[in-house]
Amino acid sequence: MLALVQRVSRAKVTVENEVIGAIGRGFLVLVCAEHGDTTTEADKLLAKLLKLRIFNDANGKMNLAIQNLDGAGTVGGLLLVSQFTLAAETTGGNRPSFTAAAAPAVGRELFDYFVAQARVAHPIVQTGRFATEMAVELVNDGPITIPMRVAPLPI
């Protein structure tokens, strides 16, 4: 699975002029399932995401995870958005290929699983809407943007 994590001051997703998900300080996470991904990769990605230490501590060092933003228990929000285009292959020409992305039904199943597990593990989880045209707005804090990948083990 792939993710693009952006540390944000705030972010929101709008569909047809309606805000369907919004957070204050936290992570906007674009998530993509690839061929071969399973719930195992989703679990590993979520575990890494929740432990990712990219919030500043009292000394200004990126040392805090989302579950402990200020060192005193303040929790940040997660805004999870499905994004199959993260699997784009661009080396063959000017038009990207998305063949590495999981089939839509599998992608939806893994995204829904990822969201459900995030809601069990974290108190503030908002989402976009799978396979829908969305307007995503964010204020990137830093800016800090981190690509993440958890690949299935080769057979």
For residues 26 and 76, the answer to whether their CB atoms sit within 8 Å is: yes
Q: Count Cβ atoms below 10 Å from residue 62 Cβ, excluding itself.
A: 13
Which residue out of 6, 27, 55, 83 is catalytically annotated? 83
Pairing mode, strands 77-82 and 26-32: parallel
Active-site choice (27, 55, 84, 114): 84
* CA–CA gap between residue 65 and residue 52 (Å, rounded): 5
* 16, 69 contact by CB (below 8 A): no
Q: What is the DSSP letter of 86?
A: G
Candidates 40, 74, 85, 99; catalytic one: 85
> Is 84 noted as a catalytic residue in this protein?
yes
117 catalytic per annotation: no
DSSP 3-state assignment of 99?
coil
| Residues with catalytic roles | 83-85
